[in-house]
Amino acid sequence: MRTIDDIRTDFELLDDWEDRYRYVIELGRELPPMPEEDRNEHTKVPGCVSQVWLTSQSDGASPPHLTFRGESDAHIVRGLVAIALALYSGRSAPEILETEAETIFKNLGLKEHLTPQRSNGLRSMVARIQSDAKAAMDAAAA
């Protein structure tokens, strides 16, 4: 899986937004398939026009590190899931909560090139990831 730094570098090499959209779709194709049993109402992200599912797993350390898996039924959105996972997966819960995703997405140019519905969906994904990170921190503190 690519890192957010890899994605940022690749975006800088692509001048045309059509090429960037193709790249985002390619990122989505690289996501490992999510098991059917993980695609359910509990893992579904509300607020997304397309269907998006996210799961998280905490390593139980202090602070906990989280690994995320995700999928969508739409090509572009699946690529956005891949970008969100590159940004957050494998990081500690405090790092996840401190990461300002809006700024990173804006610097990639996503903010001005996504429909309002896709931007809202991306915010919903980030909110879910941060909620899972907070829950993992609370569980570790208990």
What tokens were used for 131?
């909620």
Confidence label for 47 from pLDDT (cuts 50, 70 and 90) = confident
Confidence of residue 44 (pLDDT cuts 50, 70, 90): very high
Name 52's bridge partners. 72
pLDDT of residue 58: 95
Domain spanning 4-141: CATH 3.40.50.720: no
In tens, the pLDDT along 49-95 reads 899 999 999 998 889 999 999 999 999 999 999 999 999 999 999 99
Buried b / exposed e over 118-141, threshold 16 CB at 10 Å, is bbebbebbbebbbebbeebbeeee
Residues in the chain: 142
**Active-site residue numbers?**
48
Domains of the chain by residue range: 4-141
Tell me the whole-structure pTM to 2 decimals. Answer: 0.94
Does 17 score more than 80 pLDDT?
yes
* Residue whose token pair is 């915010």: 123
